[in-house]
Amino acid sequence: MLRVAERDGGTGWSVVDDAGNLVTIVEGYLRRISAQAFSPHTVRAYAYDLLAFWRWLEQEKLDVWSLRTSDLLRYIQWEKVRANPQRPGGNVYRIEDGRAGGMSVLTINRRLAAIHGLYEHLMLMEPDRLARNPVPRGQVGRGWRRSGQPQGLLGHLAQRRAPGPLRLRVPHRLPRGLAPDEVERLVGSFRTYRDKAIALLMLYGGLRSCEVLRLKLGDVDLAAKTVRVFGKGARERVVPVDEDALRMVHRYLLHERPDSEQPEIFLVGKGPRRGHPLTAEGLRRLFRYHRALSGVPAGNPHRLRHTFATNLAEAGVDAHVLRDLMGHAHLDSSLAYVHLTAAHLRDAYDRAVERVKEGASDEPR
């Protein structure tokens, strides 16, 4: 039975069999993206994606070197309907006819991206053995481009990369924050300074869970009331943080943090791993427990981040400022928050109608 194994102290991941033997084809690709400074979280996700793909190849008795695009269509269907008891979270959904739950559209698209990357790697390493990638991608549309970037006055008209024929359509859903009473119940359920500090950094600073876990002692400037954050794609930003969150971090450092040589701020407080950095799985267990305790089923780290962004958008913060605070790579991600609420829509609608009425009243009768 194949599985994913951690290596290099959690910075790398491998796909191995029960005897610990590496799946060498996958291993080469995972080591390559690790060397290209992909985050350990991305490498881990791709390792699990390729684990699922490799299990499917074995089940279907298919050879990775002779796979066709038509075979991948069957793989997509398999992912959509297969039972997956190990991942019962929000990324598992039910098919309308009552069959077992499969993977979400976003997860399937990510797995197709991982498979595409694997075959690009194989084409580079074994050009005589593999001539084409069985995972087709969309074509770059024509436009005023140079070196892949829009140029000139009409550069904004250049078309984006079209999705490939194997990319599933993703339903458009607006990000949803927590209601004030949900925030109060969830944050109020945390009992330690450490746990409250983590939640408040997400709620008042918009930090991702991985960004909170990466925070080091030198990243927090209590005097300037800022935090240096290392986000996705190794992008660094400095964000202002509310006094309440910083006060909770300070209390944690003074009263709860174990004596340790570890540079990370948030450490395990008890048990055999006391003094070691808090892991992503440990953070998931923490929020899973407090979701049940507080009765807030949507109370996860990303919802706290959404709440932060939603509150800023409702306060009228410019989308460009919101992008910098949230660490978004593209402005489109930030614009999703600008017109979130019915109150915003109603206000814009009322102002537009009022202008129309004023214009109509000025017309000669």
Which residues, including other chains, have CB under 8 Å from residue 299's CB and lie 6 or more apart?
A: 178, 182, 185, 186, 287, 290, 291
Considering 110, 305, 306, 323, which one is annotated as catalytic? Answer: 305
Active site residue 306: no
Q: Give catalytic status of residue 172 as yes or no.
A: no
Active site residue 337: yes
Sheet (strand 220-221) strand order = 220-221, 226-230, 236-240
What angle do helix axes 193-205 and 280-294 make, rounded to 10 degrees?
90
Distance, in Å, from the CA atom of 148 to the CA atom of 89, rounded to the nearest integer, reads 38
Q: Assess whether 208 carries a catalytic annotation.
A: yes
Catalytic residue among 110, 167, 196, 208: 208
**CA nearest to 353, candidates 341, 345, 365:** 345
Rg (CA), the chain: 24
3-class SS string, 169-210: CCCCCCCCCCCHHHHHHHHHHCCCHHHHHHHHHHHHHCCCHH
What are the beta bridge partners of residue 150?
A: 145
Marked catalytic residue, from 80, 251, 276, 302: 302
Q: How far apart are CA 112 and CA 91, in angstroms?
A: 16
Say whether 99 is catalytic: no
Of 7, 232, 247, 250, which one is the catalytic site residue? 232
Active site residue 173: no
Q: Which residues are catalytic?
A: 208, 232, 302, 305, 328, 337
